[in-house]
Amino acid sequence: RNHQCDILLDQTFGRKKEDYSAYIPKDCELLLGSPYALLRPEFAKWRAYSLKRRNKQEFKQLFISMGGIDIDNITGQILDELKICNLPEDLNIVVIMGRNAPHLESIKSKVTELPYQIAVKIDVGNMAEIMANSDIAIGATGSTTWERCCLGLPTIHIIVAENQNIIAKSLVQINAIKILQDRKELSSIIDDATVWMKALSDITRQISDGLGLMRVMNTIVDKKL
C-alpha cells in the first residue's frame, strides 16, 4: 500500500527496494531486511561468545521456545516427540514460556516424563544468555528468528502463523534453517543434528549481527527528524 514517510523500515528478510518503489515518495529512505532487525542490545553483547563456542559443534543443550503464550500447546507436542528421539543422555533442555501461557502447568508436569535435565523458565530476563549457551533451538518463525540468527543458533523452525510463511520460505532457500512441517519428522531431523548444525550456524550468523537498532537510530538522527 502507499506510504507517506521519510523513512520506511521493514526488517523482513529478503525485502528489496523494488517491493516498495511504487508506494513511497522518491526521497524516502528504505531500511530493508534483517540488517535492520530491532534486537535488544543484549544479543549483540552475547554474539561473539555464542559464535565462538559453536566451533566445538557439541549438542549439550536444547532450547525450546514457541512464544510466551503458545495457545496451541506446540511445546507439549514437541516434548511428546522428544520421547522417541535419539538424544544425548546428558542433554539439558531449556523450555521458555510466559506466565500466562494456558498450558504452562501441563508442560511442567510433562517434562517429568522425559529422562533429561529439563528446566521450564518463565518470563526470563536473560534470553540472549540462554540462547548463547544452547546448541540447537526449536522455535516459531517469528521475531525471535533474528535473535537466534544473531547468535548463530541453529534452529528447527515451526510455522505457527500465516505471516511467517514468507520468512520461512526465504530462509529455507538459503539453507539457513530446518523446517518441521510434521511433528513426526522431528526424530529424523534431530537425530542427524551434528551433521547440519554447524552449516546452519555459519549461514544464520550472516543474516543479523544484532546492530539493527543502532543503524535505524543513526538514520533517524542523520535525517534530523
pTM of this structure: 0.93
Q: What is the pLDDT of residue 161?
A: 86
Looking at residue 31, its pLDDT comes to 97
pLDDT band of residue 114 (cuts 50, 70, 90) is very high
Starting at the edge strand found earlier in the chain, the sheet holding 117-122 runs 117-122, 92-97, 61-65, 136-140, 155-158, 178-179
140/173 Cα distance (integer angstroms) = 18
Q: Torsion angle, CA of 191/192/197/198, rounded to 10 degrees?
A: 140
Assess contact for 204 and 181: CB atoms under 8 A: no
> 8-55, pLDDT tens digit by residue?
999 989 899 999 999 999 999 999 999 999 999 999 999 999 999 999
Tell me the pLDDT band of 76, cut-offs 50, 70 and 90: very high
In 3D, which of 122, 85, 88 has the Cα closest to residue 103? 122
The C-alpha atoms of residue 72 and residue 43 are separated, in whole angstroms, by 28
Other CB atoms within 10 A of residue 2 CB:
8
In DSSP terms, which residues pair with 9 in a beta bridge?
31
Q: What is the 3-state secondary structure (H, E, C) of the chain?
A: CCCCCCEEEECCCCCCHHHCCCCCCCCCEEEECHHHCCCCHHHHHHHHHHHHHHHHCCCCEEEEECCCCCCCCHHHHHHHHHCCCCCCCCCEEEEEECCCCCCHHHHHHHHHHCCCEEEEEECCCCHHHHHHCCCEEEEECCCHHHHHHHCCCCEEEECCCHHHHHHHHHHHHCCCCEECCCHHHHHHHHHCHHHHHHHHHHHHCCCCCCCHHHHHHHHHHHHCC
Q: Is residue 141 scored above 80 in pLDDT?
A: yes
Q: Provide the mean pLDDT of the chain.
A: 95
Query: How far out from the chain centre does Cα 160 lie?
Result: 13
Length of the chain: 225
Q: Give which of 179, 160, 131, 178 is closest to 69, Cα–Cα.
A: 160
Query: Residue 225: what pLDDT?
Result: 60
